[in-house]
Chain A
Amino acid sequence: DAKTTQPPSMDCAEGRAANLPCNHSTISGNEYVYWYRQIHSQGPQYIIHGLKNNETNEMASLIITEDRKSSTLILPHATLRDTAVYYCIVPTDSWGKFQFGAGTQVVVTP
């Protein structure tokens, strides 16, 4: 697997944008970047994925650098319900054999 590196934790004020960085310097040209989150005690929830172009959906935006060695997940207007562990994953292949690291614990405060 392409190894990913994320900060262990970050705080964000409610209503502000949360920018979550991820380094994946060994990523291969055909490997996708996925983001999932896990709210306490629940199953992981898919957020977004991308290859090289920036992606946006109703939950978040994914910005991937031109060299693909890092990416940023943007939660545009964080709410208290966005408090969760966020995982940046680069699976070995399209079979989705995800290796979940420690992720980033995001705490959104009022």
Chain B
Amino acid sequence: DAGITQSPRYKITETGRQVTLMCHQTWSHSYMFWYRQDLGHGLRLIYYSAAADITDKGEVPDGYVVSRSKTENFPLTLESATRSQTSVYFCASSELDRGPTEAFFGQGTRLTVV
């Protein structure tokens, strides 16, 4: 199916464990983004990527690692999960090489760290 998909949709993990959230898009968009959204707050940018093998920090990168070995995938890893990382995580992609345009968001991954 065409689009942007995140997996898993729901995840419960324990403090200190490593967990990876997956994001896959089928449009070959050059730009991809990871946001987190906490209860009652707007979305905050964690990391973004302008192309394969090019990533950069956003507003709240601490505790997260990303990679972009393939254009279509942009996994987000929590190296040692903490309770403060309990959140809903959204991935997005966009074809910004052609100028300002829309971004497409996934349905989100709800992560709970216990």
Chain A contacts to B: CB under 8 angstroms: 32, 34, 41-46, 49, 51, 87, 94-103
Contacts and interface: CB of A to CB of B under 8 A. Distances in A.
B50 A95 contact: yes
Contacts, number: 59
Contacts of A95: 31, 48, 50, 96
Interface residues of B, number: 27
A96 B90 contact: no
B5 to A, nearest CB: 11
Contact of A44 (B48, B90, B96): B90
A46 B102 CA distance: 6
Mostly, the B contact residues are strand
A97 B45 contact: yes
Contacts of B100: 32, 34, 49, 51, 94, 96
Contacts of A41: 88, 108
Contacts of B108: 41-43
Given A46-B103, A94-B100, 17 more contacts: A32-B100, A41-B108, A42-B108, A43-B106, A43-B107, A43-B108, A44-B90, A46-B102, A49-B102, A95-B48, A95-B96, A98-B43, A98-B45, A99-B42, A100-B35, A100-B43, A102-B41
